[in-house]
Structure 1
Amino acid sequence: MSNDAFIEQNRLNWDDRAGLHAQPTTGYRLDRFRDDRSLLSGVVDFDRRYLGDLTGLSVLHLQCHIGTDTLSLARLGARVTGLDQSGTSLDSARALFESVDTPGRFVQSNVYDAVDALDGEQFDLVYTGVGSLNWLPDIARWGQVVGAFMRPGGHFYIREGHPMAYAIDDGDDVPAGTLRLKYPYFETIEPLTFDDPNTYVDTAGEQLTHSRSHEWNHGIGEVFMALTNAGLRVTTLDEHRFLDWRMIPQQVERDELFHLPDDQIDMVPMMYSIAAMKPA
């Protein structure tokens, strides 16, 4: 299969996920954002320490999904544009914004076609939330897209699962107290293909129809070089000992974040943050 075919299968998978994630009593619990007009998503609430003052800034959110993080950026004062390849995701995002009387623009496109989809528009900040890069086959091409969207003097930020964490064996048969590698650390031509009818949030037992998905890992050096080769200057690279979700069975939950047990917590980074700027 070609990368275009893999991306299309992922789009169908995410259309299914979005329909489940946006249900009122499951998934992302969107009613919370309607009931509390100051609520921020946990993702953006963590990331805001890296973002600075967003008041009045134009912000592009790549791979925005159903818009909870995009709405949170808007609540921090940004003028937001969300982009995603899933039309179902964008329908939910638009409905969420309309329900809380918040302006926002949403455009359907995969990341690699996004510059054309937005007619070469540039932004003060390009933002990508956690859990996005693993769906993309070519990190160097992604870096060129990010750079093209940034105005001179503009900024970029991403928080993502660490490629070392993505390489760990996540099977239930791993002996207790053991960390074992199973998946590639570096980007590969062929994806890792999974067939799983479940998604990562509560769906009250409902399952995906399009259950097959394709993922690629990208090493820290590959991500770093993708940004610098696009003409950006990396200003922050932080590695974190926790994740927003349970990736492997032995992780323990603390304050809605997932850590390795105390005797392993310093062994493997689980997540990272990168900020970059485009020289004026």
Structure 2
Amino acid sequence: MTDYRDVNRANWDERVPAHVASPGYHVRQFLSDSSYLSEVVRFDRSRLGQVSGLRGVHLQCHIGTDTVSLARLGARMTGLDFSEPAIEHARSLAERLGLSMEFQVADAYDAVEVLGAAAYDFVYTGIGALCWLPDIRRWAEVVSGLLKPGGRLFIREGHPMLWTLGAGAEVPEVRYPYFETAEPLVWDEGGTYVQTEVEFSTTVTHEWNHGLGEIITAVQQAGMVFDSLTEHDSAPWDALPGLMTEDADGEWRLTVNPHHLAATYTLQAHKPGH
């Protein structure tokens, strides 16, 4: 049987050049403006708090735009992703920006083995990461293993309710599982979530949803203390094409009754100190 990681890695490897060139990732802005931060990091800036001087790791960092944004806020960042082309770009971007950072190619589940146990002040995970992992409890154990005592988890993700929806004629329709399932949802889609004219040839992906209760319980069972959950009515991409409208900050909401849908969430937890 083909491993889900091989299937998904092939898809992400092919996306990298298109994402680097797409205006959706704002690589040109990073290079031209030394104060520029990714939209995802800017959205949570007030919740993120002070990270200057802290050692952080960004799991599933893709091409590194959120990672370098955290470094621009003063954090000593490490990025990890299973796609070698993505990490090659992340390293190149950091070098061009004059940032001293570490990037490693590895699966998220192998992060403790690759990066070291109890080595980080915070673990950061951004939009669209958890859906590529089949086991949320195993992920939470990795996060806990990476954190120093007193360290914290910070994550903004697509809401599991959003992941259940498909775009109907006029309103979203619930079509897919809310809870984690043993078997993945198998997709065969040619596009991507940012603007590009590239036609992809590696189009199959395997994905999983994880309910909020499952995520919070996994965090607690891994020895972390759950601190906060903030649900948002917006997402930083057009998650339901034809049904959403973009605002001035690059966030997309349902055009009709946006308050009806929690589209993303920000979750924080910490590992107890000695």
TM-score, normalised to structure 2, is 0.95
Aligned pairs (5 A) from 1:186-225 = 186-203=179-196, 205-225=197-217
Gaps of 5+ in 2: none
Aligned pairs (5 A) from 1:73-152 = 73-152=70-149
Q: What is the DSSP-based 3-state SS (H/G/I as helix, E as strand, rest coil) of the residue aligned with 1:70?
A: helix
Query: 12-21 vs 78-87, which deviates more?
Result: 12-21
Give the CA deviation at 1:134: 0.7
Give the CA deviation at 1:51: 1.5
Q: Hey, what's the Cα distance between the residues in 1 that align with 2:53 and 2:119?
A: 15
Give the CA deviation at 1:200: 1.2
Q: Tell me what 1:8 maps to.
A: 6
Q: Hey, what's the Cα distance between the residues in 2 that align with 1:242 and 1:27?
A: 16
Q: What is the DSSP-based 3-state SS (H/G/I as helix, E as strand, rest coil) of the residue aligned with 1:243?
A: coil
Q: What is the DSSP-based 3-state SS (H/G/I as helix, E as strand, rest coil) of the residue aligned with 1:61?
A: strand
Aligned residue among 163, 167, 170 for 2:164: 167
Aligned residue among 232, 251, 265 for 2:224: 232
**Residue deviations 1:47-100 (CA, integer Å, cap 9, x gap):** 221211111100000011111110100000000000000000000000001111
**1:50 touches 1:275 (CA, 8 Å); kept in 2?**
no
Q: What is the DSSP-based 3-state SS (H/G/I as helix, E as strand, rest coil) of the residue aligned with 1:238?
A: strand
TM-score, normalised to structure 1, is 0.93
Aligned residue among 224, 243, 262 for 1:269: 262
Give the CA deviation at 1:207: 1.9
**2:117 touches 2:147 (CA, 8 Å); kept in 1?**
no
Give the CA deviation at 1:180: 1.9
Give the CA deviation at 1:20: 1.4
* Letter matched to residue 252 of structure 1: T
Q: How much is the aligned-residue C-alpha RMSD, in angstroms? A: 1.4
Q: Hey, what's the Cα distance between the residues in 2 that align with 1:34 and 1:135?
A: 29
Give the CA deviation at 1:119: 3.2
Gaps of 5+ in 1: none
Q: Hey, what's the Cα distance between the residues in 2 that align with 1:129 and 1:181?
A: 24
Q: Tell me what 2:254 maps to.
A: 260
Q: Tell me what 1:251 maps to.
A: 244
Give the CA deviation at 1:27: 4.8
* Letter matched to residue 218 of structure 2: A
Q: Hey, what's the Cα distance between the residues in 1 that align with 2:232 and 2:9?
A: 29
**1:242 touches 1:257 (CA, 8 Å); kept in 2?**
yes
Q: Hey, what's the Cα distance between the residues in 1 that align with 2:111 and 2:161?
A: 29
* Letter matched to residue 241 of structure 1: D
Percent identity over the alignment is 44
Q: What is the DSSP-based 3-state SS (H/G/I as helix, E as strand, rest coil) of the residue aligned with 2:165?
A: coil
